[in-house]
Structure 1
Amino acid sequence: MGDDLNMRFAPARAALHRMSAAAAEFDGAWARDRGEITDGESGIGGDRLGRAFAAGYAHRAAPARTMAGRMPGLYEGMSRTGHACAADYEAADARSAARFDPA
């Protein structure tokens, strides 16, 4: 393995666009699914069994909901950062190449 690092910009940017699209898709799916989960939870009864279930369920479900709600932003943030890194790399590459221009 060599000591050089090289970025192929078109494939990198294509992957970053796919990541951004996945974030948007996840966001829409989570909004829909969150509503379905809430609708399902409304059917948990208020009797003794329902209360016992709800007490154990709520604190276990909360972290999963929180993380699912964060996922679109995390993926979108990674995509934006990746695009910024690709732009920085490309600009630095162009500056470096210009120094070797024989003209």
Structure 2
Amino acid sequence: MSTIIRRRKNKIDRLKNDAGVWVDEAEDIKYLAMNYFIDLFSPAHVPTSRSATPNLFPCIDPGQLASLVTTVDLEEIKVSLFSIGGIKAPGRDGFPACFYRS
């Protein structure tokens, strides 16, 4: 019963086109959806200049950039690792900090 309800809930029975008319034939729904996404990803919708995208990140001045590319000391790594809680912050591999400490 739950499968039938989920199928009914997830099924698209009709869509409204640009003229405000409801479309309920399967082929017309397919055509309407395809045209919507073709239009959405057409070159007319792609921003042409860099100023069209929001400035999400602040600029880094050369002094700050130089400090980001310096070599990392092994003592600095050890201090950072031991400052993390034992089972906190697992990395991408899933191992927590206590694994690397031992």
| Fold agreement, TM-score > 0.5 | no
The structure showing larger relative contact order (alpha-carbon pairs under 8 Å, at least 6 residues apart) is 1
If each structure's helix is expressed as a fraction of its own residues, which one has the higher value?
A: 1
TM-score normalised to structure 2 length:
0.28
TM-score normalised to structure 1 length:
0.28
